[in-house]
Amino acid sequence: MNTPTEAGGYPKRNLELVFCTKCGFLFNDVFDSQVQEYSTNFEESQHFSGTFNAFARELAVQIANKCDLQGKHVLEIGCGKGEFLLELCEIAGCTGLGIDPGYRPERLSDKPAGRVEFITDFFGPRYAHLEPDVILCRHTLEHIGPTAEFVRSIREMIGDREDVVVVFETPDAERVLGEGAFWDIYYEHCSYFSAGTHARLFRQERFEVTDLELVYESQYIVQYCRPASGLTQPALPLERDLERMRGLAAGFPTLVHRTMDHWRDVVRQAGRQGRRVVLWGGGSKGVAFLTTLGVGEDVHCVVDVNPYKQGKFMPGTGHPVVSPESLVDCPPDLVIVMNPIYLGEIGEQLKALGLNAELAALR
């Protein structure tokens, strides 16, 4: 948001999470897609972090090798600003088409040079004529309410072709339930999957799941599959998680409230002690943390390495988003890191700035 007033007055909606005991699917039962705003102003890029870039490059190399992409054509549904697709095509020597309502051509420092094309739009029936060799979809399925309908549309687009590879990357809901991670539950995420739930969805829509793994310190699911002639049966170890998910779902209400109470106490106690508290991470986790806990008065600002977020304000609370360098003028006492995987990177940045703040990571 461009101003504190605009940010503070941004619409909010409730979530009512429902867990299906038969398949393990977790979803927001009061989700209304009409109140969302996906446009070129939606800022989701994580590619300003060295930690994330290293992971993304490793994943691109893996996909290129597993899918034998040399000379092939990739469709990425929900490509964001296009950084990953461009890197994948450069690594693999393939061509690509990215579709996303948030794509902005001016954001790519390395121009596609004919190898990659982008469309600023939502994926839908108008693109059913496309015939890619590989379909890639990263961090998009969790934003879709009618998930079966969405996966079915991809299967119908493939038709009778048997050699198409479909690759999905999706946040792992088992970790969210196990940690009581309320910061990973927010309105744009209306659908939540464990590895097993993810595979069950694709198997019921006539795909054979060929590979399933957890990556990024088990935060993300990566799944490879191919079209099948009918329903397929579970065959991979990670698919056997339904009993575990039932137990986690049953214990989640108690755990999540305990986790919320803990972090509310951490922030408020620091405020009472006169310590300057900042959050590091101006994305959805930060928004969920602030709006869920109601501790805005005890948090000074939010730090983010993405320059397109700096100078903006957090939706729902109006906290300013600042650069790491700006902390030199108002040194923090406590930095709450929204994702523990970035602890090392953030610690090095603070050290380079001559700052010696306490680091506490959500986990």
- The CATH number assigned to the domain holding 44 equals 3.40.50.150
CB 357 within 8 A of CB 350: yes
Q: What is the C-alpha to C-alpha distance for residues 25 and 92, in angstroms, rounded to an integer?
A: 34
pTM for this prediction: 0.93
CB 57 within 8 A of CB 78: no
Distant-in-sequence, close-in-space partners of 58: CB < 8 Å, separation ≥ 6: none
Of 209, 166, 193, 171, nearest to 77 (Cα)?
166
Q: What is the pLDDT of residue 72?
A: 97
179 and 328 together in one domain? no
Q: What is the C-alpha to C-alpha distance for residues 256 and 262, in angstroms, rounded to an integer?
A: 10
Mean model confidence pLDDT for the chain: 93
The answer to whether position 254 is within a domain reads: no
29 and 154 together in one domain? yes
The yes-or-no verdict on residue 187 having pLDDT over 70 is yes
The answer to whether position 255 is within a domain reads: no
Q: What is the pLDDT of residue 11?
A: 87
State the DSSP string of 274-317.
T--EEEE--SHHHHHHHHHHT-GGG--EEE-S-TTTTT-B-TTT
Q: What is the pLDDT of residue 167?
A: 98
Of 256, 11, 284, nearest to 171 (Cα)?
284
207 and 278 together in one domain? no
185 and 313 together in one domain? no
275 and 321 together in one domain? yes
Residue 42 banded pLDDT, cuts 50, 70, 90: low
The answer to whether position 333 is within a domain reads: yes
Tens digits of residue pLDDT in 87-112: 999 999 999 999 999 888 776 766 66
196 and 103 together in one domain? yes
**CATH code of the domain covering residue 349:** 3.40.50.720
**End residue of a domain, out of 229, 245, 261:** 245
23 and 130 together in one domain? yes
Give counts: helices (H), strands (E), the chain. Answer: 9, 15
Proportion of the chain above pLDDT 90, given as a percent: 87
Q: What is the pLDDT of residue 41?
A: 67
Average pLDDT over residues 272-279: 97
**At 74, which helix (H) or strand (E)?**
strand 73-77
274 and 231 together in one domain? no
103 and 224 together in one domain? yes
Of 201, 225, 134, 215, nearest to 171 (Cα)?
215
Strands 95-99 and 73-77: parallel
CB 221 within 8 A of CB 171: yes
63 and 191 together in one domain? yes
The answer to whether position 250 is within a domain reads: no
Q: What is the pLDDT of residue 104?
A: 82
Q: What is the pLDDT of residue 33?
A: 87
What single-letter amino acid sits at 101?
A: P
**End residue of a domain, out of 212, 245, 278:** 245
The total number of structural domains in the chain stands at 2
Q: What is the pLDDT of residue 139?
A: 95
Tokens of 179: 């940690």
Torsion angle of alpha carbons 292, 299, 342, 51, nearest 10°?
100
Q: What is the C-alpha to C-alpha distance for residues 52 and 39, in angstroms, rounded to an integer?
A: 23
**CA of residue 255 relative to chain centroid, distance:** 22
Average pLDDT over residues 292-299: 94
Q: What is the pLDDT of residue 102?
A: 87
The yes-or-no verdict on residue 313 having pLDDT over 60 is yes
The yes-or-no verdict on residue 40 having pLDDT over 60 is no
241 and 285 together in one domain? no
φ/ψ region of 277 (left if φ > 0, alpha if ψ in -120 to 50, else beta) reads: beta
Residue 35 banded pLDDT, cuts 50, 70, 90: confident
Distant-in-sequence, close-in-space partners of 358: CB < 8 Å, separation ≥ 6: 333, 334, 335
Residue 352 banded pLDDT, cuts 50, 70, 90: very high
The answer to whether position 198 is within a domain reads: yes
Torsion angle of alpha carbons 15, 21, 25, 26, nearest 10°?
20
43 and 171 together in one domain? yes
Tens digits of residue pLDDT in 218-243: 999 999 999 999 999 999 999 999 99
The answer to whether position 331 is within a domain reads: yes
User: Which class for 234: exposed (0-12), middle (13-18), buried (19 or more C-beta within 10 A)?
Assistant: middle
Residue 24 banded pLDDT, cuts 50, 70, 90: very high
Average pLDDT over residues 208-220: 96
CB 135 within 8 A of CB 94: no
Q: What is the pLDDT of residue 110?
A: 65
- Range of the structural domain that residue 302 is part of: 270-361
Q: What is the pLDDT of residue 112?
A: 60
Average pLDDT over residues 160-189: 96
Q: What is the pLDDT of residue 301?
A: 97
The answer to whether position 259 is within a domain reads: no
Exposed e or buried b for every residue in 255-273, given b needs 16+ CB within 10 A? bbeebbeebeebbbebbee
Of 69, 216, 222, nearest to 137 (Cα)?
222
The answer to whether position 339 is within a domain reads: yes
